[in-house]
Structure formats: C-alpha cells, structure tokens
Amino acid sequence: MSARLVLLGPPGAGKGTQAARLAERLGVPAISTGDIFRANIRGGTELGRTAQAYTARGELVPDEVTNAMVRDRLAQDDAAEGFLLDGYPRNVAQVAELDAVLAADGRGVDLAVELTADPEVVVARLLHRATVEGREDDTEDVVRHRLTVYTEQTAPVAALYAERGLLAQVDGIGDVDEVTQRLLDAIGQPAR
C-alpha cells in the first residue's frame, strides 16, 4: 500500500512519538520539519540560524525556507514510495506547495490524520516536557503562542483536507499504544 500521509495536531498532542511508531509500522520515513530545524540549529548551519529566530518564539519559519527544505527531503529515495509528514503542511500555502511537489510526479496525499487533544492538556504536557527535554520553545508563553498559531494557521489545513474527504480525526489522549492503534485503524492498517 502506498502511504503518503500527513499527521496534524496541536503541539503537545504526541505527534512526534506517534509519527515514529507509525512510520516504523508502515515502512515509510517519518519526516518531521521540527526535527530537521532542531538538527540544523544544533549543527549551527545557516538554515539553523534562520530557523532559530522563529522557532524560539513559536512562530512559523517562513514558507520559502520550509518549503525548499521539504521539497529536498521528499526528493530523497526513501520517500519515493511513501512518507509520513509530521508538522508539515502547517498553513494553507504549504498545502498548495505540497500538492504541487507531489503532482509533479502524479502523486498526492492519501490521507491527513489529525491527532486531537484538549488545549489545557497539551499545555500541561508541554510544560512537563520542558522540565525533561529543556526545549527552548516549551516555556509557557511560547507554548500558548504555538497553540494560537495552530488554531489560526494549521486548523484551516485540517479543514481543507476534510473538504477533500481526506481527513481522519483521532483522539490523541490515552495510552501511547492505544493511540497508535487508533491511528492505524484510521489509516486502514490491519492489527498485527
């Protein structure tokens, strides 16, 4: 089965954890734009320096930077048969870009899955994560701003996929294994 999947959901809904599990199970690479930015920030690259000014404040990195990075990543061999995008597209313009990149090879997104979670639960989770991982964008002000950015810019992405009949919503609250199984059910992958 080809699996060109998009994983949506507010920060703190567990996208990163679930993306890694799903990718392993489906045999496709998990491509996390947030992880790629963080790796570049750690590595001190030019992309990292550009991104950090935005990630630290919880703002979206400008589309031209993000889109070019995703375009390069999707052109790599391991993404030819499928991928799971985690954290992209994050606004309506990025949806159009992804459509164009895939359409150039006669491809398209098969399904967008939105991991849903109550905002107060995700804020609590992220503030806890801050004490464990020390991410610089997990302070309370920045976390709340990232949620606002999600509501204003990324929720319309889910609405767009819903209009196309390509959105599945999955409750992100619960045991990690249970949530993985819910996601696999939504994707149409039989239980092992």
Which CB atom, from 1 or from 76, has the smaller least distance to ligand AMP? 76
Q: Which residue has the tokens 């390069």?
A: 72
Local structure of residue 69 (DSSP, 8 states): H
Closest Cα partner for 176 from 18, 13, 7, 6? 18
Beta bridge partners of 83: 4
User: What minimum distance in Å lies between the beta carbon of 164 and ligand AMP?
Assistant: 19
Chain residue at closest Cβ approach to ligand AMP = 34
| C-beta closer to ligand AMP: residue 1 or 75 | 75
Does 73 contact ligand AMP by CB under 6 A?
A: no
Query: With respect to ligand AMP, which residue has the nearer C-beta, 64 or 171?
Result: 64
Within 10 A of 185 (CB to CB), how many other CB atoms are there?
13
**Among positions 37, 83, 150, 161, the unique one binding ligand AMP when judged by CB under 6 A:** 37
Distance CA 102, CA 99 (A): 5
Question: Which one of residues 9, 29, 82, 87 is an interface residue with ligand AMP (CB under 6 A)?
Answer: 87
Examine residue 61 and tell whether it contacts ligand AMP (CB under 6 A): yes
- The SS3 call for residue 172 is coil
Q: Respond yes or no: is residue 192 known to be catalytic.
A: no
Q: For residue 15, indicate whether it is catalytic.
A: yes
User: In the beta sheet, which residues pair with residue 168?
Assistant: 113
The residues that are catalytic are: 15, 90, 129, 135, 146
